[in-house]
Amino acid sequence: MGPIESRWLASPERRRAIQKLTAWAAAAPALSAQRDPVRPHPRFPKLEELLSPLDFEPVAHARLPRFSYDYTAYGSDGEFTLRRNRDAFDWVKLIPSSSGAAAELNTATELFGTRLTSPLLISPTAAHVHMHPDGELATYQGATAANTPMIVSTNTSVPIEKIAPTAKGQLWFQLYPREDMESNREMLERAQAAGAKAIVVTIDQQAAEYERALHDRHLGAPITSTARRASSRQSGEPSNPYRIREFRLWYEWGLFAKLRPMIKVPMIAKGILTAEDARLCLEHGLDGVYVSNHGGRSIDYGPSTLEVLPEIAAAVNGRVPILFDSGVRRGSDALKALALGATAVCLGRMPRWGLGAYGSQGVQRSLELLQAELAAAMRYTGRTTLASIDRTLVRTDFP
């Protein structure tokens, strides 16, 4: 062996070469049978281990594809309204009271002639199949098990005719109106034939049709049909000088007079954020007012729903029920909304987290936890019936 070979045997380069060769051999497919089959994996908690509605989101986050989580979690533009919806609940304090502590608690209520065990409902949200393979079927089954009505979205991933036979709970239907009234008629007839007890007509989002599709695409999600529709509309120039997509710019209050002959059940307008619009709902014969900013998914930099709820309640003055959503995460949140004038409180993201985490059982468990928290908050404030809830049990500090 010459001096060059001797230096090579003792050199660091030789040792590094042997290390690389060994690593390649260890990773070779032929040696895979020798590997330990046990792999590290996340340990998902058992359903009964979850003690708060907020516990479901991290489980859903761990289980869902990223675009499914993103679509549910995020809001519009800078997400100011999404954050403000949650901040607003921090600006309302519950006032404790020991009065009525010994009385029997009763959260039952009546809404549009139907008796409910709780003032909670499931808000209309799209495409539950992204959260669980059974989609709205699982949501409805979980909601029924928790004695909670479900509002089915126009953009449901399962037709309402297929949802209704899978459980015996109460179903409502949410309509995105179309300019073609015959299209509306067809959808409304199908929903009512399937047993929908009320129709919720969404009238916000006039200038924001696509919601989060493009945002989700930027985060690596596939381009959804919604995104493709938005893209195709953007390819042509809108006729208005502001270059706003015109998919819903035709909305006007006369719409309800056209829809009324098609609807044989209560009709509610969703997306109300001002006292003026609430009064217009009454003038146009709406059976209910639904205070909502689409969970922060409509136009950004709007007010939180909790901030505007008192002025809307004053305008309505008890003449029709007031539904409320956007930002509700806990039973105490629901109590604050009821105290400020809501008749019933609707839940959007929370049941979706339950669905994504554990399917129908997750929906049921998340709703039951919210119901239990509402009961506990009522006890804390000395109110044992919904009729006893009023503004005196809260102190507000809106900026």
**Per-residue pLDDT at 208:** 55
Percentage of the chain with pLDDT > 90? 70
Mean pLDDT of 116-127: 97
Residue 245, domain member (yes or no):
yes
Residue 47, domain member (yes or no):
no
Catalytic residue at 128?
A: no
Regarding whether 90 and 7 lie in a shared domain, the answer is: no
DSSP string computed for 382-394 = T--BGGG--GGGE
CA 110 vs. chain centroid, Å, equals: 23
pLDDT beyond 90 at 3: no
Regarding whether 58 and 15 lie in a shared domain, the answer is: no
Say how many C-beta atoms besides its own lie within 10 A of residue 119's C-beta: 25
Residue 158 Cα distances to 116, 138, 152, 265, angstroms: 25, 11, 9, 22
Give the domain CATH number at 313: 3.20.20.70
Angle between helices 66-73 and 349-358 (to 10 degrees): 160
pLDDT beyond 80 at 46: yes
When pLDDT is cut at 50, 70 and 90, the band that residue 229 belongs to is: very low
pLDDT, one tens digit per residue, over 355-376 is: 999 999 999 999 999 999 999 9
**Per-residue pLDDT at 227:** 43
pTM above the 0.85 mark? no
Q: Which residues contact 174 (CB under 8 A, 6 or more apart)?
A: 124, 151, 152, 153, 154, 199, 200, 201, 202, 270
Tokens describing residue 120:
């909670």
pLDDT beyond 70 at 391: yes
**Per-residue pLDDT at 222:** 55
Q: Which of 128, 130, 132, 294 is catalytic?
A: 294
Residue 303, domain member (yes or no):
yes
Regarding whether 132 and 97 lie in a shared domain, the answer is: yes
User: What's the mean pLDDT when you consider all of the chain?
Assistant: 87
Residue 248, domain member (yes or no):
yes
Regarding whether 125 and 182 lie in a shared domain, the answer is: yes
**Per-residue pLDDT at 225:** 47
Regarding whether 103 and 15 lie in a shared domain, the answer is: no
Regarding whether 12 and 126 lie in a shared domain, the answer is: no
Regarding whether 137 and 26 lie in a shared domain, the answer is: no
Regarding whether 87 and 9 lie in a shared domain, the answer is: no
**Per-residue pLDDT at 230:** 45
Regarding whether 286 and 139 lie in a shared domain, the answer is: yes
Do you know the residue count of the chain? 399
Amino acid at 306: L
Regarding whether 272 and 241 lie in a shared domain, the answer is: yes
Query: Structural domain tally of the chain?
Result: 2
Residue 71's H or E segment, with its range, is helix 66-73
Q: Which of 164-168, 174-178, 220-224, 251-255 has the lowest mean pLDDT?
A: 220-224
Q: Which of 134-138, 237-241, 310-314 has the lowest mean pLDDT?
A: 237-241
Residue 119, domain member (yes or no):
yes
Q: Which of 42-46, 76-80, 192-196, 220-224 has the lowest mean pLDDT?
A: 220-224
Residues 107, 372: Cα–Cα separation, whole Å: 10
Regarding whether 371 and 276 lie in a shared domain, the answer is: yes
Regarding whether 305 and 386 lie in a shared domain, the answer is: yes
Residue 46, domain member (yes or no):
no
DSSP string computed for 175-243 = E---SSHHHHHHHHHHHHHTT-S-EEEE---TT--STTHHHHHHTT----HHHHHHHHHHTSPPSSTT-
**Per-residue pLDDT at 66:** 86
pLDDT beyond 80 at 278: yes
Residue 238, domain member (yes or no):
yes
Residues 375, 242: Cα–Cα separation, whole Å: 49
pLDDT beyond 70 at 232: no
Range of the domain at 14: 3-34
Residue 42, domain member (yes or no):
no
- The angle subtended at Cα 33 by Cα 30 and Cα 34, nearest 5°, is 100
